[in-house]
């Protein structure tokens, strides 16, 4: 007696279809499971045995072999319980085998036969659809998440006996489930209209988001760096449907997806504490899971008190900042997680926080240099914009001002993004910050006057090839914001200003 059932396993943020085969034959009574299994999958044997018994089905006193193929893929998670139970019940004739060809099953089973939810259902249903599977049976608690994938039948079950009845009937119809998904975009608690002063820093934030450039803010404590950073989500542009689906998959695999809210529509803003480990930041583990940089995919990763992070942890960011993805190699395979985020970081200029105000700062030159050297030059090279946050005086802080709102800034950001999307529609990227080196000359051409100016700045600021290209990309964004087709001298001058802060602190500190 033999049967086969399809299921899916998480592989990175995607899924792979797995075939669960069950064979029951004569021989010494035993229950074997093979197929490159993790410990939690091996434990399914006891969960399935107890669940079948409590549902009134006894395993035959024969040799039972369950194989999960392909054997080259590591099987992890408790989502194999239900397909294993279905395969065994089908092999002993309790479930009709004829209706299993185009059905994918996933779910964990409690000892009383109740079907428990699992992570990553969104990715599983997407993969099932790609493989032309017609029906996906998931735990009832995961049904709302599964329904987010259109044009495939998804059915939620709460008890093992419901699965048996459903498969024996052979008629698959969508559950009568009302899904009330809020359509209103989440309102941000912080708005740029709340920020008095700091006009230069407000401008730097708008430029950074308009071109999706990385931003570093340097200033004394209490200057408003953290508050301005919390305002940035309010000017982030909306995501398209592909971005929403990809981000939702990441959160689904991580067990952080709220299916009651539908697909994630707001760009993420992640702000991990400085005690975070390297694994927590970039992802990994024995069973690789996305880290904070992947959870910030399509949005902002805010690192407050940048110099308090472990230097080894920060250095790991260098490759993801360049490649917009992170590659993790483990014995069971190589995994790629998307990490296309905007890095926004804030730090003090010295240990006490008040350099270069020598009336307040009493740090020695050596201690200042040691403090700033926590941020390496290769990491600084990957930051497009460095902006200073000066201390606000009492008058600026309390003066009633008609500050521009985030909604007005967001309109300009969206307009700049639209210009970039149209320009790069045939090139596989979207934003100025993503222009590859071989296309810099095409999209950031300079006239003779601009070229002579950049030659002088290249020597004055000791630019590298990478930082020179970043200046051109930022200038391209500033030109787009001004509605200019060509990069002018004024755009380059502003872009160079954003490198001047680096020279002021790291070379003169």
The answer to whether position 182 is within a domain reads no
Residues in the chain: 509
User: What average pLDDT score do residues 78-107 get?
Assistant: 91
Q: Are 282 and 316 in contact (CB under 8 A)?
A: yes
C-alpha span between 149 and 127 (Å, rounded): 10
The residues near 25 (Cβ < 8 Å, ≥ 6 apart) are: 1, 62, 63, 65
The answer to whether position 412 is within a domain reads yes
User: What average pLDDT score do residues 32-38 get?
Assistant: 92
Instruction: Mark whether 81 and 225 lie in a shared domain.
Output: no
Q: Which tokens in the block code for residue 72?
A: 């080259």
Instruction: Mark whether 72 and 161 lie in a shared domain.
Output: yes
pLDDT value at residue 89: 94
pLDDT value at residue 365: 87
Instruction: Mark whether 222 and 286 lie in a shared domain.
Output: yes
Q: What is the mean pLDDT of the chain?
A: 90
Instruction: Mark whether 211 and 156 lie in a shared domain.
Output: no
Name the nearest CA neighbour of 424 among 205, 204, 211: 211
The answer to whether position 165 is within a domain reads yes
C-alpha span between 142 and 372 (Å, rounded): 48
Residues 456, 458, 461, 467: is their CA dihedral positive or negative? positive
Predicted structure pTM score: 0.88
User: What average pLDDT score do residues 247-262 get?
Assistant: 88
State what percent of residues in the chain have pLDDT above 90: 67
Q: Please count the structural domains in the chain.
A: 2
Looking from the CA of 272 toward its CB, the CA atoms found within 13 Å total 24
Domain of 147, in residue numbers: 2-169
C-alpha span between 168 and 89 (Å, rounded): 11
The answer to whether position 463 is within a domain reads yes
C-alpha span between 227 and 190 (Å, rounded): 8
pLDDT value at residue 178: 47
pLDDT digits (tens, 9 = 90+) for 415-466: 999 999 999 999 989 999 999 999 999 999 999 999 999 999 999 888 889 9
Instruction: Mark whether 356 and 430 lie in a shared domain.
Output: yes
Instruction: Mark whether 206 and 133 lie in a shared domain.
Output: no
Confidence band of 183 (pLDDT split at 50, 70, 90)? very low
pLDDT value at residue 68: 95
Please name the helix (run of DSSP H) or strand (run of DSSP E) that holds residue 279, with its range, or none: helix 278-282
pLDDT value at residue 138: 96
pLDDT at 188 over 70: no
The residues near 340 (Cβ < 8 Å, ≥ 6 apart) are: 297, 298, 324, 325
User: What average pLDDT score do residues 127-133 get?
Assistant: 94
pLDDT value at residue 198: 85
Instruction: Mark whether 255 and 148 lie in a shared domain.
Output: no
pLDDT value at residue 176: 54
The residues near 293 (Cβ < 8 Å, ≥ 6 apart) are: 281, 282, 283, 301, 317, 320, 326, 337, 339, 341
Instruction: Mark whether 197 and 138 lie in a shared domain.
Output: no
pLDDT at 397 over 80: no
pLDDT value at residue 184: 47
**What are the two backbone dihedrals, phi and then psi, of residue 68, each rounded to the nearest 5 degrees?**
-110, 110
Instruction: Mark whether 13 and 71 lie in a shared domain.
Output: yes
The answer to whether position 15 is within a domain reads yes
Confidence band of 189 (pLDDT split at 50, 70, 90)? confident
User: What average pLDDT score do residues 227-242 get?
Assistant: 93
Instruction: Mark whether 331 and 412 lie in a shared domain.
Output: yes
pLDDT digits (tens, 9 = 90+) for 371-382: 888 899 899 999
Instruction: Mark whether 362 and 404 lie in a shared domain.
Output: yes
- Highest-confidence segment of 164-178, 186-200, 250-264, 387-401: 250-264
CATH code, domain with 144: 3.30.230.10
C-alpha span between 191 and 228 (Å, rounded): 9
pLDDT digits (tens, 9 = 90+) for 289-344: 899 999 999 999 999 999 999 999 999 999 999 999 998 887 667 888 999 999 99
User: What average pLDDT score do residues 92-119 get?
Assistant: 91
3-state secondary structure of 369: helix
Looking from the CA of 463 toward its CB, the CA atoms found within 13 Å total 23
State what percent of residues in the chain have pLDDT above 70: 94
CATH code, domain with 435: 3.40.50.300
User: What average pLDDT score do residues 11-37 get?
Assistant: 92
The answer to whether position 150 is within a domain reads yes
Confidence band of 179 (pLDDT split at 50, 70, 90)? low
C-alpha span between 281 and 275 (Å, rounded): 10
Last residue of a domain, one of 135, 169, 203: 169
C-alpha span between 439 and 431 (Å, rounded): 13
C-alpha span between 497 and 387 (Å, rounded): 9
User: What average pLDDT score do residues 133-141 get?
Assistant: 94
The answer to whether position 230 is within a domain reads yes
Instruction: Mark whether 313 and 345 lie in a shared domain.
Output: yes
The answer to whether position 81 is within a domain reads yes
């Amino acid at each position: 007696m033999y049967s086969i059932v399809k299921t899916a396993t998480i592989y990175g943020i995607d899924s792979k279809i797995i075939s669960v085969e069950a064979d029951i034959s004569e021989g010494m009574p035993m229950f074997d499971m093979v197929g490159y299994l993790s410990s939690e999958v091996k434990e399914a044997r006891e969960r399935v045995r107890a669940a079948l018994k409590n549902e009134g089905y006894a395993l035959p006193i024969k040799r039972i072999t369950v194989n999960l193929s392909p054997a080259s893929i590591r099987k992890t998670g408790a989502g194999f319980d239900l397909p294993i139970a279905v395969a065994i019940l089908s092999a002993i004739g309790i479930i009709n085998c004829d209706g299993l060809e185009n059905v994918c099953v996933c779910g964990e089973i409690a000892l009383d036969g109740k079907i428990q939810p699992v992570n990553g259902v969104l990715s599983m249903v997407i993969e099932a659809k790609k493989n032309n599977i017609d029906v996906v049976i998931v735990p009832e608690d995961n049904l709302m998440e599964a329904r987010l994938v259109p044009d495939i039948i998804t059915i939620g079950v709460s008890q093992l006996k419901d699965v048996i009845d459903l498969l024996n009937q052979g008629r698959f119809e969508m559950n009568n489930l009302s899904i009330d998904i809020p359509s209103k975009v989440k309102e941000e608690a912080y708005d740029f209209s709340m920020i008095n002063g700091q006009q230069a820093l407000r401008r730097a934030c708008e430029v950074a988001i308009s071109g999706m450039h990385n931003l570093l803010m340097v200033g004394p404590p209490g200057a408003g760096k953290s508050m301005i950073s919390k305002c940035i989500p309010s000017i982030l542009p909306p995501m398209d449907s592909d971005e929403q689906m990809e981000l939702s998959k990441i959160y689904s695999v991580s067990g952080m997806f709220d299916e009651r809210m539908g697909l994630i529509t707001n760009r993420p803003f992640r702000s991990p504490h400085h005690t975070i480990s390297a694994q927590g930041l970039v992802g990994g583990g024995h069973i690789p899971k996305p880290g904070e940089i992947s959870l910030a995919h399509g949005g902002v990763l805010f690192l407050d008190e940048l110099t308090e992070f472990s230097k080894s942890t920060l250095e790991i960011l260098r490759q993801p900042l360049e490649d917009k993805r992170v590659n993790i190699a483990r014995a069971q395979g190589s995994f790629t997680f998307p990490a296309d985020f905007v890095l926004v970081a804030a730090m003090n200029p010295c240990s006490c926080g008040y350099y270069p105000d020598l009336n307040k700062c009493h740090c020695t030159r050596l201690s200042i240099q040691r403090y700033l050297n926590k941020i390496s030059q290769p990491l600084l090279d990957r930051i497009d914009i460095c902006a200073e946050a000066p201390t606000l005086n009492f008058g600026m802080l309390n003066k009633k001002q008609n500050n521009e709102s985030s909604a007005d800034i967001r309109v300009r950001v969206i307009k700049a993004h639209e210009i970039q999307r149209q320009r790069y529609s045939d090139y596989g990227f979207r934003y100025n910050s993503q222009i590859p080196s071989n296309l810099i000359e095409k999209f950031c051409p300079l006239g003779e006057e601009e070229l002579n100016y950049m030659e002088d700045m290249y020597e004055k600021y000791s630019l590298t090839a990478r930082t020179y290209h970043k200046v051109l990309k930022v200038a391209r964004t500033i030109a787009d914001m001004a509605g200019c087709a060509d990069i002018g001298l004024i755009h380059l001058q502003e872009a160079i200003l954003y490198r001047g802060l680096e020279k002021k602190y790291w070379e003169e500190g």
